[in-house]
Chains A and B, each alone.
Chain A
Amino acid sequence: EVQLVESGGGLVQPGGSLRLSCAASGFTFSDHYMDWVRQAPGKGLEWVGRTRNKANSYTTEYAASVKGRFTISRDDSKNSLYLQMNSLKTEDTAVYYCAIETAATFAYWGQGTLVTVSS
């Protein structure tokens, strides 16, 4: 059974940093592109970014709203995905989901972890 479990969310002040993790199991993690998607309170889903697999050189892409502030990485030996968030803004407050991506389709999602940016 595919499982994705996010962790690391919490309360952080504007300008601060936070690192989210996503533990994966039940599938061959190293074969897949992995993404982060977020949902701000009362809002819709927003794609944050992706990391490709080793075969595609672990390249990354980001939404314009987070580019330069967020970094996605992965550790295939630990079946884990990470999201390093720096220079956080109040508008980054959201539930953050990790998801398996194939051709812009998200077949499996985690339950999400809440990040609150507030003073």
Chain B
Amino acid sequence: QSALTQPASVSGSPGQSITISCTGTSSDVGSYNLVSWYQHHPGKAPKLMIYEGSKRPSGVSNRFSGSKSGNTASLTISGLQAEDEADYYCCSYAGSSTFDVLFGGGTKLTVL
């Protein structure tokens, strides 16, 4: 199965909002409410930011939000801060035929 499709890079100025898209298919993103998003600073452990499409784990800022429409999931970060600069990955369950988990290719967020 192919990886989920994310833009390679996005950028925004402090205080602005940005949205990162994650496009899959009707077999993965479109079929299950099991999309998650991870923030990854190089050299560190990835951090869960959003799960089940739109839920935030305890301790994650409410500036981070998730949504889904059809086969595309989205991560929105509002009120951009310098520390938000990182790589972001989406992830989706790929169905009970394989039980696979698919990741997106990752999006580099630059805070200008």
Contact = CB atoms under 8 A, between A and B. Distances in A.
Verify that A and B bind, or say they do not: yes
In this complex, the member of B52, B92, B101 whose beta carbon has the largest number of chain A beta carbons within 10 angstroms is B101
A63 B76 CA distance: 29
Interface string A32-43: 000101000001
Contact of A105 (B45, B47, B51, B100): B51
A104 B103 contact: no
Contacts of A63: 100
Interface residues of B, number: 27
What are the 6 tightest A-B residue pairs by CB atom distance, in nearest-first order?
A104-B93, A44-B106, A109-B45, A47-B101, A45-B103, A105-B51
Interface of A: 4, 35, 37, 43-47, 50, 61, 63, 97, 99, 101, 103-112
Contacts of A46: 3, 103
B18 interface: no
Contacts of A43: 105
Nearest to B48: A107
Nearest to B107: A44
Interface of B: 3, 32, 34, 36, 38, 40, 44-48, 51-52, 57, 89, 91-93, 98-106
Given A61-B99, A63-B100, A106-B46, A44 B3 contact: yes
B50 to A, nearest CB: 9
B57 A107 contact: yes
